[in-house]
């Protein structure tokens, strides 16, 4: 994981939501508090979030969006094509970066190592330095509350921000459904 950010995605019964904090750090220094690390892609049908450097995020988001366009929004085919392209690119595969992408049917974690991971529960995924805290909070809140999907993501990210020094409370979310 990275000392960079926290991204959490939840594909619930009614909505798919992705959220991320806004903190950008360089070593032990906070450079920015309100960065946007999540995006809506392919005509608003796909959500994506990124953990890693900002410049890399723009390149990888653009590269993934090209795969989505080529595959006409088919998320499964696009993640496989993207993973192959990311892994084969001699420069990009060295990035210490991860992405989460989801629609209302599927959720995946993608890495430069060629990994395409669909979470075991098929519902919750997290990446970044506070990812473990966020996913633990989301699982607990899902099992012990009646929160809607967006509120669950926000509350889980706030819990992660209380525990992870690389995560802040400037939470942004995007929703499908």
Catalytic residues: 5
Exposed e or buried b per residue across 22-43, where buried means at least 16 C-beta atoms within 10 angstroms of its C-beta: bbbbeeeeeeeeebebbbebbe
Tokens of 173: 């979310």
Token pair recorded at residue 102: 């989801």
Pair 168, 33: CB distance under 8 Å: yes
User: Rounded to the nearest 5°, which phi and psi values hold at 11?
Assistant: -105, 95
Tokens 């950010």, residue? Answer: 5
Fill in the DSSP letter of residue 176.
E
């Amino acid at each position: 994981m990275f000392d960079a950010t926290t991204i959490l995605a939840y594909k619930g019964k009614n909505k798919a939501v992705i959220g991320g904090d806004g903190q950008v750090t360089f070593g032990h220094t906070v450079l920015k508090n309100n960065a946007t690390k999540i995006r809506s892609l392919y005509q608003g049908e796909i959500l994506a979030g990124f953990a890693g450097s900002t410049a890399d995020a723009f390149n990888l988001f653009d590269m993934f969006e090209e795969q989505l366009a080529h595959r006409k929004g088919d998320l499964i085919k696009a993640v496989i094509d993207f993973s192959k392209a990311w892994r084969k690119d001699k420069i990009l595969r060295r990035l210490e970066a991860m992405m989460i992408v989801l629609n209302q049917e599927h959720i995946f974690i993608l890495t430069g190592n060629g990994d395409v991971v669909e979470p075991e529960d098929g519902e919750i995924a997290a990446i970044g330095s506070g990812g473990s805290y966020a996913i633990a909070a989301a699982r607990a809140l899902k099992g012990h509350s009646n929160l809607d999907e967006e509120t669950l993501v926000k509350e889980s990210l706030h819990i992660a921000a209380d525990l992870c020094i690389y995560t802040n409370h400037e939470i942004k979310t995007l929703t499908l459904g």
